[in-house]
Amino acid sequence: MTTVERPAPSSSVRLIDTIAGPRVANRTSSDWQHLPYTRFDLEPMAPTIGAVVAGVSMADELDRETFAELNRALLEWKVLFFRKQNLTHPQHAAFARNWGELESHPFARVRSDQPDEPEVLRLEKGPDVVGRENLWHSDVTWRLCPSLGSILRAIELPAVGGDTLFCDMSAAYDCLSDEVKQYVDGMFAVHDWITTFGRGMDPATRDRLRPDFPAVEHPVVRTHPETGRKMLYVNIAFTQHIVGLSQADSDELLAYLYRQASFPEYQCRFKWASGDVAFWDNRSTQHYASSDYFPQRRVMDRITIVGDRPY
């Protein structure tokens, strides 16, 4: 990978871009969009991201046509929501396997009542553990091949709160100014788990895991392997710095790029109910789990599908 010294973008660009929100309407054009769905009903939640799918039982085997339409819906809407599914762990895993091999999370605590499937990551919050997924992120971008998608299932919910928000990172990229696009296209950034999962770890464990999970470099603008769309691919949880920039310039540019995920124009927000499932395309989205329910319990099971190397 080549390391290039880049000049900082002109200050006029930075000023305009940091004081204003998105300056153009969301662009959603692509060939496969707006084709009808025939195997289920689909109700969009926001102009470019989030749709509720009705008429699919996730517990049942998917036929080829339904799988193909669900995948098209996932690419188009980036996160799909399924109400009242009440899946078992094997059904959850079997549904996910339609999209590929499943990941095990190397840093997950192994619990005595861990569900049978090793691929199920239990996220359990309550009076003793506060929700910490309340920062915009894509899952496991510290992997060389971060996950294709995650499928999250509600197990136990607070009376109110605990919503999950999602952001469309292709819309975020589309709405950057041409000058900023030109500046960031072709850049790479370092992603690492050390500042999150590594923080509370004892040094011996950290050293043991390090060789298997070194810091990795990913493009700042990623191309979606199925749609060909460009997406902003840095996140505040795992991105450390931009290759070839001074720490100060990298921090400034990253702060600007992270801020793009905060615009409601690119977002949808899901209010969970018992039995619900969310399936997001982890390549084109970031998410944020609102941690507003302490000390109530919120228990979720997540399964992630192995993805490919970003380019």
Residues at the interface with ligand SIN (CB under 6 A): 123, 133, 139, 150, 152, 164, 287, 289, 300, 302
Minimum CB separation of residue 150 from ligand SIN in Å reads 6
Please say which residue, 70 or 140, places its beta carbon nearer to ligand SIN.
140
Helix 247-259 with 11-19: angle, nearest 10 deg? 30
Please say which residue, 148 or 300, places its beta carbon nearer to ligand SIN.
300
Minimum CB separation of residue 164 from ligand SIN in Å reads 4
Minimum CB separation of residue 152 from ligand SIN in Å reads 6
- Percentage helix, strand, coil for the chain under 3-state DSSP, each rounded to 5: 25, 25, 55
Please say which residue, 6 or 302, places its beta carbon nearer to ligand SIN.
302
Q: Residue 95 carries which side chain, given as an amino acid letter?
A: F
Tokens of 129: 């553990």
Answer yes or no: 105 catalytic.
no
Kindly give the residue spans of alpha helices, DSSP state H, lying in the chain: 11-19, 64-77, 89-97, 169-174, 178-184, 203-209, 247-259
Answer yes or no: 302 catalytic.
yes
Whole-angstrom distance, CA of residue 54 vs CA of residue 180 = 39
Catalytic choice (192, 287, 298, 301): 287
Catalytic choice (105, 137, 143, 241): 137
Q: Which residue has the tokens 């920039």?
A: 245
Please say which residue, 109 or 208, places its beta carbon nearer to ligand SIN.
109
Answer yes or no: 191 catalytic.
no
Length of the chain: 311
Minimum CB separation of residue 250 from ligand SIN in Å reads 25
The residues annotated with a catalytic role in the active site are 137, 139, 287, 302
